[in-house]
Amino acid sequence: MTLDTPTLSAIAAMAVVTYLTRIAGLFVADRLVLTGRAKAAFDAIPPAVLVSVIAPTALTTGWAEAIAAAITAVAAFRLPLLATIAVGVASVVVLRNLI
Amino acid sequence: MTMDQSAPYFPTYRREIRAGLRDIAPVAVAAVPIGLLFGAVASAKGLSMLEVAMMSAFVYAGGAQFAVIEAWAYPVPIAALTFATLLINARHVLMGASLGPKMELTGIQRFIAFFFLTDEAWALSERRAMERPVTGAYWIAMALVLWANWTLSTTLGAVLGSFMGDPARIGADFAFTALFIGLVAGFGHSRVTLVTVGVSAAVAALVHHSIGAPWHVVSGALAGIAAAYLAAPEEART
């Protein structure tokens, strides 16, 4: 079992900046009173962030992933979350074998 | 961490905890193969089991951990890895600003609770906040399950390492993507949301292709937010 000092330093630095990003929003939230377009922009944060994280995998990896992502999206409006994930994983396996 | 002290009846706790467990269960299940994958990749890069466990427990940010492990080298490029972490996790600032006021927590409780802020717990809480306030009991039930699940599954992945074989073979690498698609669908399909999703996806994919990770997250998110601003009617509701 090894603990390497530079590795520990990197982990500590990562932990500190990550925690700071997590609490930083609490300092600005109380001063944000939003209406109209500004509110629409703020409400768009959740889907915008989630989509941006997965877009490269879903869209630019290959046809199997892109089609599986489309199938998953259709399933997502009809099925509970776990079933949606199952559909996504199953379709990517099938498509990778076909394509 | 104390639970929501303002809740007058004990059964409220129990109901909130149950709701939290019910909501987080599918997410935790989906995270297991991802955690195993992370642990296996990290140990292949030279991290020990204990180092993997510590990173998952203290950093606790899957997206940043994957990006950092991808770029891991010896000697460890501490500054570059820390900056990549900051970039990928910058989204937490917006997420916290949005969710913070919707939670029934006092000041100090928030600072403890938000250590556990993740995309998944946040997305579920935002969805719940559309109907009712997010209680401390609901949050901490989700948070502890997801945190323990991530720490254990990544550590186990580091142990199993090479025994796992190729995760792509069983489609485990796609679980994260499918999970996020499911979470996005939870935000509905209003015109503004569809515009946001389309613009974010296009910009993130383009930036990832032309510039590379981790820049696609920040740029895709900002583009989608700007698109929502422009697509929304100037006055009215969203």
Q: What is the DSSP letter of B132?
A: S
Q: Does B7 touch chain A (CB under 8 A)?
A: no
3-state class of A21 per DSSP?
A: helix
What pLDDT band is residue B63 in, cutting at 50, 70 and 90?
Answer: confident
Q: Is the link from the previous residue into A80 a cis peptide, with omega within 30 of 0?
A: no
How high is the pLDDT of residue B113? Answer: 95
Q: What does the block give as tokens for A80?
A: 């509970």
B-facing residues of A in 10-39 (CB < 8 A) are 10-15, 17-19, 21-26, 28-30, 32, 36-39
List the single residue in A12, A25, A92 with the smallest CB-CB distance to B174.
A92
Mean pLDDT of chain A, nearest integer:
89
Residues of A in contact with B68 (CB under 8 A): 10, 14
Higher per-residue confidence, B94 vs B135:
B135
Residues B163-219 pLDDT 10s: 656 666 677 778 778 888 988 898 888 999 999 999 999 999 999 999 877 678 778
Minimum distance, in Å, between the CA of residue B88 and any CA atom of chain A: 9
- Containing structural domain, residue A11: 5-98
Residues A2-40 pLDDT 10s: 778 999 999 999 999 999 999 998 888 666 666 788 888
Outline where A2-80 has alpha helix (H). Answer: 5-29, 36-43, 45-60, 63-76
Cβ(A40)–Cβ(B195) below 8 Å: no
Cβ(B219)–Cβ(B203) below 8 Å: yes
Task: Mark yes or no for CB contact A10/B78 under 8 Å.
Answer: yes
Cβ(B217)–Cβ(B185) below 8 Å: no
Inform me whether the pLDDT recorded for A93 exceeds 70.
Answer: yes
**Domain count along chain A:** 1
